[in-house]
Structure 1
Amino acid sequence: MPLYIYAFIVSMALSYLATPKVIDLAWKIGAIDVPKDARRVHKKPTPRLGGLAIFAAFTAVGLLTLPLEQSSIQGMLVGGAILVIVGVLDDVYGLPAKVKLALQTVAAYIPVLFGLKVQWVTNPFGGMFYLGQWSVPVTLFWIVGITNTLNFIDGLDGLAAGIAAIASITMMLVNASLGQVNATLVTALLAGAALGFLPYNFNPAKIFMGDTGSMFLGYMLAVAAVDGAVKSATAIALIVPILALGLPIFDTAFAIVRRLAKGKPIMQADRGHIHHRLLDVGFSHRQAVVYMYLMSLALGLCAIIMIWAGVKQAFLTLAIFFVAFLVGGRQFVVSHDKKSQHL
């Protein structure tokens, strides 16, 4: 059995075992999410800090399986640890959005200092662009951006953890097929840690991952994608993680445009995310989460098809899924409206 499969299984088991301990810790130190506004969909106080269990499982197994002598791995782990500290401080005390963004940028710069950066932007249809002096800004934008996509989408029980697990598994399979050992191990560890946490986080959640978890998962996925892109000779190395994380990327991009159009700060939370829209049209909490899981699975499958069958087949599959989700979603809304009229 490949090492990354062992890493996946052990990471999942440790995360599952560690989460109850973190629940107790969160109650003791007061790291509790109390619903205070209409944006929050949970009804009772719920512990945060679940990301500590994810981080602990990832780190414990990672220290035994990752090539710690490599500078890229060192930078990845140091930056991830910094973000976990930032997340804990935010989950316990609350940090201003600007402070979090500044600290995220610092964490993103750590792997760059260790030599991990995007130097080429590739086109899946052919051609490559050398970034030159733009290499560092593009790398920072990518890492900080993906770090926040999971943070933004973490609005329903189990949503961010499930999507992170799906994206991690997608990237793990692709990296394994391309022979990217480090990126395969990192994404296997992330997938296992997220899945081990998920039983406690799915609706009704016993604990939230908090910023500790969402920022750590987003950050590590972003850096793993950069590591895979740097060491891969394929022209679609960064297209795969963009597809795998397509749902949170789209949701975040739409949120930024929406907030700018309304003259609001881009880091200011609102109730316009995809999961909020699904709830508004009649989806239950669990139905909305599962629907978004299926969307992420579809995007992940397209990423895998792109590697194994080609770009045209992947985009054809994507178009089919897009139509299917539109029709299925509309059918659900119509059915829900009819039921409401009969009540």
Structure 2
Amino acid sequence: MEQQVILFAIVMSFLITVLVSPIFIPFLRRLKFGQSIREEGPQSHQKKTGTPTMGGIMILLSVAVTTLVITGQFAETSVETYLLLFVMVGYGLLGFLDDFIKVVLKRNLGLTSLQKLIGQILIAVIFYFVFVQFEFSTAVSVPGTSISIELGFFYVLFLIFWLVGFSNAVNLTDGLDGLVSGTAAVAFGAFAILAWYQSQFEVSIFAVAVVGALLGFLVFNAHPAKVFMGDTGSLALGGAIATVAVLLKLEILLIIIGGVFVMETLSVIIQVISFKATGRRVFKMSPLHHHYELVGWSEWRVVVTFWTVGLLCSLLGIYLEVWI
């Protein structure tokens, strides 16, 4: 029965996204919610200017409706479900504000870095207080070992770093058609399997709802993209996957399963440090996916390669948790 519910959740989420998108995308276009492409990016991206953004709204809508309907009908809507939806919607609203400022107010940088950071931290802190109120564990386990480190009160600092870090990591990865849609779908799929393995049915439902929504979105987001998810989608997905890892007590494993997001973030950090210290750039451009574009790879080749790396990272993460 539970297997059928999981299958129903992913199909429902997929269909909602696929059916809503043909209505929502023209609506975004009529409102002139088109993406502005930064001039310092690859010149091949300039043709994407005007492509509707804020498509993450469709992902959030699909995931929220599917999760609430399925858990309400076939399971007990738990505090885990509400925590997952709170973080996803909270970071999604923050991303929506950023997108709105960019496309409507014509400020290409959106929210300032400080404004965005304050919002991300606030959501993480609220999550922490609810988390400890319901006596969830504040220990962190090392994958593939029996080592578990109790952080106690310092867990709030870890939680802030994790949610803020991964929401920004997914946001940095969102630079090519279908890149985040595919890599995030694979990563959430891995966590859905691990949630099932831990008998955390509600978390598994949420994770597969995200997978279904992303696959549905990919129909319209694959190259050449008809719509972008924007910060509305990428910040929400990053916060959500970090929350899933926290609720499953697989925080550190996220570094492996979300390996693509980690590599993209490290490429930016390395580039900045290298340029400030030596005046030289390690990569032709960061994040990493732009480097491969500038060495001559087609956009589709970069995306499929990163999807493949994401799949290998996810399989490694599952192996470490289930078989070691």
SS in 2 for 1:121: strand
Q: How many residues end up aligned between the 2 structures?
A: 298
1:80-229 correspondence to structure 2 within 5 Å:
80-93=88-101, 94-115=110-131, 119-123=138-142, 124-229=144-249
- Which residue identity is paired with 1:51? G
User: Given the alignment of the two structures, is residue 303 of structure 1 paired with residue 307 of structure 2, yes or no?
Assistant: no
1:322-333 correspondence to structure 2 within 5 Å:
none
How far 1:260 moved relative to its partner? 3.8
SS in 1 for 2:131: coil
Q: Which moved more, 1:128-137 or 1:113-122?
A: 113-122
Q: Is the 8 A contact 1:149 1:252 kept in 2?
A: yes
Q: 2:32 aligns with which of 7, 24, 30?
A: 30
How far 1:120 moved relative to its partner? 1.0
List gaps (5 residues or longer) in structure 1.
230-236, 265-269, 311-343
SS in 2 for 1:32: coil
Q: Is the 8 A contact 1:118 1:135 kept in 2?
A: no
Q: Which moved more, 1:143-152 or 1:59-68?
A: 59-68
1:166-202 CA distance string (max 9 Å, x none): 1011111122122122221111111111111001111
How far 1:80 moved relative to its partner? 2.2
Residue number in structure 2 paired with 1:267? none
Q: Under a length normalisation based on structure 2, what TM-score does the superposition of the two structures give?
A: 0.86
SS in 2 for 1:262: helix
SS in 2 for 1:38: coil
For 2:166 and 2:177, the matched residues in 1 are separated by: 20
Q: Is the 8 A contact 1:30 1:92 kept in 2?
A: no
Residue number in structure 2 paired with 1:13? 15
How far 1:118 moved relative to its partner? 5.8
Q: Is the 8 A contact 2:6 2:208 kept in 1?
A: yes
Structure 1 vs Structure 2: percent identity of aligned residues? 28
Residue number in structure 2 paired with 1:76? 84
Residue number in structure 1 paired with 2:267? 254
For 1:203 and 1:257, the matched residues in 2 are separated by: 28
- Which residue identity is paired with 1:115? F
1:131-188 CA distance string (max 9 Å, x none): 0121111011111111111100101000011110010111111221221222211111
Q: Is the 8 A contact 1:171 1:241 kept in 2?
A: no
Q: Is the 8 A contact 1:87 1:211 kept in 2?
A: yes
Q: Under a length normalisation based on structure 1, what TM-score does the superposition of the two structures give?
A: 0.81
SS in 1 for 2:175: coil
1:281-300 correspondence to structure 2 within 5 Å:
281-300=295-314
How far 1:299 moved relative to its partner? 0.8
- Which residue identity is paired with 2:62? A
User: Given the alignment of the two structures, is residue 243 of structure 1 paired with residue 256 of structure 2, yes or no?
Assistant: yes
Aligned-CA RMSD value: 2.0
List gaps (5 residues or longer) in structure 2.
102-109, 278-283
Structure 2 CA distance for partners of 1:141 and 1:118, relative to 1, 3 Å: farther
- Which residue identity is paired with 1:120? A
Structure 2 CA distance for partners of 1:2 and 1:92, relative to 1, 3 Å: same
Q: Which moved more, 1:194-203 or 1:245-254?
A: 245-254
- Which residue identity is paired with 1:26? L
For 1:89 and 1:10, the matched residues in 2 are separated by: 28
How far 1:294 moved relative to its partner? 0.7
Q: Is the 8 A contact 1:171 1:240 kept in 2?
A: no
Residue number in structure 1 paired with 2:106? none
For 1:38 and 1:285, the matched residues in 2 are separated by: 17
Bigger relative contact order, structure 1 or 2 (CA pairs below 8 A, ≥6 apart) = 2
- Which residue identity is paired with 2:231? D
How far 1:261 moved relative to its partner? 4.0
Q: Is the 8 A contact 1:121 1:130 kept in 2?
A: yes
Residue number in structure 1 paired with 2:281? none
Q: Is the 8 A contact 2:90 2:236 kept in 1?
A: no
1:14-64 CA distance string (max 9 Å, x none): 111122222123223332113341315421321101101101100111111
For 1:120 and 1:58, the matched residues in 2 are separated by: 29
Q: Is the 8 A contact 2:68 2:77 kept in 1?
A: no
- Which residue identity is paired with 2:155? S
For 1:55 and 1:151, the matched residues in 2 are separated by: 15
For 1:86 and 1:99, the matched residues in 2 are separated by: 10
